[in-house]
């Protein structure tokens, strides 16, 4: 089954062609980082316009790279939310127009759910259920128990800032540039992670929720109250360690409680090398057998291949939607 996948939830225009839910025939991403850099963050109107400008060319390129004609596509999968309304609208309108004009089946994809599906791509032995998924992105931090395709239990989520958002905001405080995640991890390589004692928010609590706003404020006050110049690399490393400790600690608690067969990581923050390394070590030391899926970085950050993988399983289940009924939902939740 061939799925044409479209993703425009935030600041990446992405189109992919995916075969049978795992084989990537093409996976193109047009990043808008350079456009938003000068503003120090994403400007929604600029993002929406850039999606409109890039979409058709990217669509053509992706099909040609996959050597697939539009008529051969079995279904179109598109992200309907969560995300920025204007951005989502561009992907959705494109998918609707294609579905209507070519009489193709349409599948609506939740962006967070799609991040969980990075683990299925290019994988001969995909995750077994129950699987635990951790999605750490710019807007979300969610621990999800996947009982089967489409059958999820949200174990916990962030109560305020997402992990990626905290990376971005702390990078801004440290004047390290945009996007913050890669900037912090680069600075952290040269820093001492034990130099500053920062909080591990909610780690000791008996739940699976997260909170990163206080950690960000702790960094702010450290900078404000310091009488000497703070070593940015040390602070970046200490901050990164606090986030990683929290994410790994909470996830291990969930693994112990729910005993999943697999654990899969997704979302932009999963590109963080320290986080990946710490998860490899932690899972290796567990007494129970949990297979860890740590997808390549380009499948963790926003892309359309994950939308195609998720779309395949929904299409197989005949979860189609009429183009007339498909709406953007900027605050869509995983169900
Ligand atoms: O999943 P994603 O590409 O977009 C959203 O759905 O939000 O995630 C973007 C987030 C940004 O906050 C970015 O700073 C963060 O992922 N990120 C990282 C790294 N690379 C990207 N955070 C930490 N370390 C990284 N290496
Ligand atoms: Zn994302």
Domain assignments of the chain as residue spans, ordered by start: 2-117+301-325, 126-294
Mutate to test the pocket of ligand 1, among 115, 142, 268, 300 (most ligand atoms within 8 A of CB): 268
**CATH for 126-294 (3.40.50.970, 3.40.50.920, 3.30.420.40, 3.40.50.1000):** 3.30.420.40
- Residue 200 pLDDT more than 90? yes
Ligand 1, atom 19: closest residue by C-alpha: 181
CB-CB contact of 7 with 307 (8 Å): yes
Mutate to test the pocket of ligand 1, among 33, 164, 332 (most ligand atoms within 8 A of CB): 164
pLDDT for res 178 = 87
The reported pTM is 0.97
- Residue 40 pLDDT more than 90? no
Q: Is 122 left (phi over 0), alpha (psi -120 to 50) or beta?
A: left
As a dihedral over the C-alpha atoms of residue 325, residue 267, residue 29, residue 111, rounded to 10 degrees, the angle is: 0
Tokens representing 178? 């945009």
For residue 255, the CA-to-ligand 2 centroid distance in Å is 23
Q: Is 204 left (phi over 0), alpha (psi -120 to 50) or beta?
A: alpha
pLDDT for res 308 = 98
Q: Is the preceding omega at residue 118 within 30 degrees of 0, hence cis? A: no
pLDDT for res 84 = 97
Q: Do the strands 291-293 and 262-266 form a parallel or antiparallel pair, or are they unpaired?
A: parallel
Ligand 1, atom 8: closest residue by C-alpha: 268
pLDDT tens for 289-331 read: 999 999 999 999 999 999 999 999 999 999 999 999 999 999 9
Nearest ligand 1 atom, CA 135: 1
CATH architecture for segment(s) 2-117+301-325: 2-Layer Sandwich (3.30)
Tokens representing 284? 């290796």
Q: What's the length of the chain?
A: 335
pLDDT for res 335 = 82
Q: Kindly tell me the number of DSSP H helices and DSSP E strands found in the chain.
A: 11, 10
Instruction: Evaluate the CA torsion angle 122, 125, 130, 131 in order and state its sign.
Output: negative
Helix (H) or strand (E) holding 271: none
Tokens representing 262? 């697999």
Nearest ligand 1 atom, CA 162: 12
Ligand 1, atom 10: closest residue by C-alpha: 138
CATH topology match: 2-117+301-325 vs 126-294: yes
Beta bridge partner(s), residue 23: 19
pLDDT for res 270 = 98
Mutate to test the pocket of ligand 1, among 7, 12, 167 (most ligand atoms within 8 A of CB): 167
> How would residue 85 be classed by pLDDT, with cut points 50, 70 and 90?
very high
């Amino acid at each position: 089954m061939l799925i044409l996948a479209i993703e425009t939830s935030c600041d990446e225009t992405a189109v992919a062609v995916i075969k049978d839910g795992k084989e990537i025939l093409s996976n193109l991403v047009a990043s808008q980082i350079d456009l938003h850099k000068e503003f120090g963050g994403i400007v929604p109107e600029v993002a929406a316009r850039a999606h409109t400008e890039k979409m058709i060319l990217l669509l053509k390129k992706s099909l040609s790279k996959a050597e697939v004609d539009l008529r051969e596509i079995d279904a179109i999968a598109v992200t309907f939310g969560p995300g920025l309304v204007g951005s989502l609208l561009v992907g959705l309108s494109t998918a609707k127009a294609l579905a209507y004009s070519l009489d193709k089946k349409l599948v609506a994809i939740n962006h967070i759910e799609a991040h969980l599906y990075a683990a299925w791509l290019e994988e001969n032995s995909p995750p077994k259920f129950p699987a635990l998924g951790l999605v750490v992105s710019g807007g979300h931090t969610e621990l999800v128990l996947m009982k089967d395709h489409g059958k999820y239990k949200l174990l916990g989520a962030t109560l305020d800032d997402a992990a990626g958002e905290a990376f971005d905001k702390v990078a801004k405080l440290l004047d390290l540039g945009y996007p913050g995640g890669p900037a912090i991890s680069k600075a952290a390589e040269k820093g001492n992670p034990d130099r500053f004692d920062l909080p591990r928010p909610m780690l000791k609590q008996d739940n699976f929720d997260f909170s990163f706003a206080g950690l960000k404020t702790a960094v702010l006050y450290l900078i404000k109250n310091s009488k000497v110049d703070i070593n940015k690399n040390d602070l970046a490393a200490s901050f990164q360690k606090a986030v990683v400790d929290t994410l790994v600690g909470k996830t291990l608690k969930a693994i112990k409680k729910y005993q999943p067969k697999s654990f899969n990581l997704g979302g932009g923050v999963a590109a963080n090398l320290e986080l990946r390394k710490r998860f490899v070590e932690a899972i290796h030391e567990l007494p129970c057998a949990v297979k860890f899926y740590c997808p390549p970085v380009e499948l963790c950050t926003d892309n359309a291949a994950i939308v195609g993988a998720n779309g395949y399983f929904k299409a197989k289940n005949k979860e189609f939607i009429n183009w007339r009924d498909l709406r953007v939902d900027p605050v869509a939740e995983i169900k």
